[in-house]
């Protein structure tokens, strides 16, 4: 694929992602329906944990199988100054996840203006990021996963792994642009970092090839 001359830092921890089957193990290790839904959305959406926690019931589109997201880390220049702004985007998600979310909403008797992950302690607010980290860490430990690469499990490992999975399927520069748009990376250079995992996949194929 062509180089678009973006400046970016190459990812250093090439093992900082889940191995095949680990996300399913983590999902199956969850003891509550809420935790299963949280892990499933992290696994299948590629979104940041802060964006997931901001989702309300009204943001779920069951008919079109997607979720309306309020994207983090977006800035634009206004009067010469960088200003944060709210970027709202609809993204598709798989049918099983949509059905699981619907079952969860009905079981929890959530209303359209409720957060999907309501805090049991703060009225009309979502659980904290710290609580979400605890849920993820506990589920990972129960699944026997204590480290991802050289770090303890973190919500961003799900987003990182999602992008790697997609990068391995890229076949053209147009696909890379689609991945950038789906991930909402601020520039193509960030998305291009994941191409190194595509290269690693090719190297694995060469390594597995039997010598005649």
What does the pLDDT look like over 112-125, one tens digit per residue? 999 999 998 877 89
CA dihedral 2, 206, 9, 136 (to 10 degrees): 120
Give the CATH H-level superfamily of domain 22-208.
Answer: Intergrase catalytic core (1.10.443.10)
How many residues are there in the chain?
Answer: 212
Q: What is the pLDDT of residue 22?
A: 97
pTM assigned to the model: 0.79
Q: What is the mean pLDDT of residues 52-70?
A: 96
Give the tens place of pLDDT for each residue, 65-85: 999 999 876 666 667 777 666
Identify whether the C-beta of residue 126 lies closer than 8 Å to the C-beta of residue 53: yes
The CB density around residue 66, as the number of other CB atoms within 10 Å, is 17
């Amino acid at each position: 694929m062509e180089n678009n001359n973006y400046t970016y830092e190459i990812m250093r921890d090439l093992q900082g992602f889940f191995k095949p089957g680990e996300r399913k193990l983590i999902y199956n290790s969850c003891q509550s329906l809420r935790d299963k839904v949280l892990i499933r959305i992290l696994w299948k959406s590629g979104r940041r944990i802060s964006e997931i926690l901001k989702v309300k019931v009204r943001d779920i589109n069951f008919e079109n199988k997607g979720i309306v997201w309020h994207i983090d880390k977006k800035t634009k220049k206004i009067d010469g100054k960088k200003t944060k702004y709210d970027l709202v985007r609809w993204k598709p998600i798989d049918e099983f996840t949509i059905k699981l979310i619907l079952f969860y909403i009905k079981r929890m008797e959530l209303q359209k203006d409720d957060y999907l992950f309501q805090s049991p302690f703060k009225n009309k607010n979502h659980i904290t990021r710290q609580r979400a980290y605890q849920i993820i860490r506990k589920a990972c430990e129960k699944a026997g996963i204590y480290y991802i690469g050289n770090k303890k499990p973190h919500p961003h490992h799900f987003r990182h792994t999602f992008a790697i999975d997609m990068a391995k399927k890229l076949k053209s520069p147009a696909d890379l642009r689609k991945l950038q748009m789906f991930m909402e990376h601020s520039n193509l250079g960030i998305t291009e970092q994941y191409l190194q995992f595509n290269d690693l996949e090719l190297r694995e194929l060469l390594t597995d090839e039997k010598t005649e």
